[in-house]
Amino acid sequence: MSDQPNPKPARKLNPALSKPVQPDEVLAKVVGSTPLSRGELTKKLWEYIKANGLQDQTKKTNINADEALKAVFGGKSQVTMFEMTKLVSQHVK
């Protein structure tokens, strides 16, 4: 019998997160028109938000929309990070 603990099994990636999705025309203005995994899509979205200073300074969980993001967010000028995920998923195929 071995005194060593059992090694943890390697963590499996969620296949839904790695499967490429196609941004629609509205979302493509922010992240580009090439198919991306959901993880890459989120990363590009955050790069855009940070590059344009759109994260709310007083409440960091809020995103202030510029014109391109306002179209993605269904006309809302500010959404929470959690709302953003739901709204963005409506713009992928």
Contact call for residues 74 and 87 (beta carbons, < 8 A)? yes
β-bridge pairing 62-64 and 78-80: antiparallel
Contact call for residues 55 and 47 (beta carbons, < 8 A)? no
The reported pLDDT for the residue numbered 18 is 80
pLDDT tens figures, 4-23:
666 666 666 667 678 899 99
Structural domains in the chain, CATH included, are: 21-89 (1.10.245.10)
Residue 1 has pLDDT above 60, yes or no: no
Long-range pairs, 41-46, Cβ under 8 A, ≥24: 41/88, 41/92, 42/85, 45/84, 45/88
Contact call for residues 27 and 44 (beta carbons, < 8 A)? no
| Predicted TM-score of the model (pTM) | 0.80
